Amino acid sequence: MSIARVRSELVLASTNRGKLKELQALLAGLPVDVRGVHEVLAKPPHVVEDGDTFAANAAKKALTVAGLTHCMTLADDSGLEVDVLDGRPGVRSARFAYEGATDAENNAALVKALEAVGHHAAEGREKPFAARFRCVLALVDPFTNGGEPFLVDGTCEGSIPLTLSPRGAFGFGYDPLFVVDGMGGRTLAELSDDEKNAVSHRGRAMARLAPALEKILAARDETVRRIVR
């Protein structure tokens, strides 16, 4: 067995089941063996996401898990940005209601915030609330680039309807409230897994990461070969 096949393990630095499912599907066609951090570490670390940007948080998570596992590690930080809320929930999307909030509680907090904005807006508002999902993926490999994170991002443009009514039984997070541009007025939660992965912020970030990952794997394999010679 070649060194490249033995060393091609990729650890996902997340315990979010929804993210893990999507990332595993998006990585399925790449030459890596994907494992969740819970499969590698008996007690996955709790990384405090105190960065001001998605990039800072993604890099911190990837570096932390890579440092503990000594494996190539991929981390995701993502969230919803609503223009009328000045970009909130943003980096606080997973804890918009409060630390440790459920998806339902965060959705309720978003609806409340938009209702408050609506009360102060001009009457007769007809346009939905412009919004987007943003994702930053951070890839860290201890064998290449001095262990520094490689970062890519992706966005999915859409809106929150004025009705503020969730629709759909799929996805997670704010998906039931987010109508995707160009998808016939459907929310992310109304799309199949394949449809969502094709247009989502995470899917678009992964499309940008894939060719870079191939190059990183090649460089990594060459470095490992030099070490073991």
Q: 11-28: per-residue pLDDT in tens?
A: 999 988 889 999 999 998
CA gap 195, 215 in Å, rounded: 27
Catalytic hit among 76, 77, 153, 175 = 77
Residue-range domain boundaries for the chain:
3-228
Q: What are phi and psi of 16, to 5 degrees?
A: -75, 115
Q: What is the pLDDT of residue 119?
A: 52
CA gap 152, 59 in Å, rounded: 11
For residue 7, pLDDT beyond 50: no
Q: What is the pLDDT of residue 227?
A: 73
Q: What is the pLDDT of residue 51?
A: 95
Confidence of residue 201 (pLDDT cuts 50, 70, 90): very high
For 110-126, how does the pLDDT look when each residue is reduced to its tens digit (9 = 90+)?
999 999 987 555 445 57
Tell me the average pLDDT across 164-192.
Answer: 95
The residues that bridge with 77 in the sheet, in sequence order, are 136
Which CATH fold would you assign to the domain 3-228?
Maf protein (3.90.950)
Q: What is the mean pLDDT of the chain?
A: 90
Q: Tell which wins on pLDDT, 214 or 77.
A: 77
76 belongs to the catalytic site: no
Q: Tell which wins on pLDDT, 5 or 100.
A: 100
CA gap 53, 58 in Å, rounded: 9
Of how many residues is the chain composed?
229
For 138-155, how does the pLDDT look when each residue is reduced to its tens digit (9 = 90+)?
999 988 888 999 999 999
Tell me the average pLDDT across 62-84.
Answer: 96
